Amino acid sequence: MDAVDCLMRLESASFGVLGTLDADRGTHLVPVVFAVRGDELVIPIDAVKPKTTTRLRRIDNLRADARASLLVDHRDADWGALWWVQADLEFIGAAELASRWRSALAGKYPQYRPAETIESLLVFTIRSTRGWTAA
């Protein structure tokens, strides 16, 4: 799969698994939603899904080591339709919600249409992508 196809599949995916590095425990994986524009990717920190704490391990991990990966895939009973894409990311930082990201996230996820649902964003640069497809 070439870089253009990887990016197209990444943009169209609804959910992914974010991997960060925890200095004590190793790889930390968490399911996330996200939006992509060009070579930037954002993951919202929202008030929609309940959380056990406001101090999220993924944020602490990213502040200690900016490297991360996002894995998205397509599963199907027809194994000829299977594919996956991994994006290697670099954490830029946490940011307030910008209007361009609000429209991208609200367009992809109706739950984010009310203004108060997104508290902040984790902003990344997409450094590279790779993927596989059975087709």
Give the separation between CA 58 and CA 21, rounded to whole angstroms.
8
For residue 106, what is the domain's CATH number? 2.30.110.10
pLDDT at residue 14 in the model: 95
Give the residues across from 40 on adjacent strands. 37, 125
Q: Tell me how many domains the chain contains.
A: 1
Residue 96 structure tokens: 């307030």
Residue 69 structure tokens: 């990966």
Question: Running along the chain, 135 residues long, what does each successive block of 10 average in pLDDT?
Answer: 96 97 93 95 87 83 96 96 97 86 92 88 96 94
Residue 18 structure tokens: 């974010």
Q: Which domain holds residue 68?
A: 3-133
The model carries a pTM of 0.92
User: Which value, to the nearest 10 degrees, does the dihedral of the CA atoms of residues 68, 22, 42, 3 take?
Assistant: 10
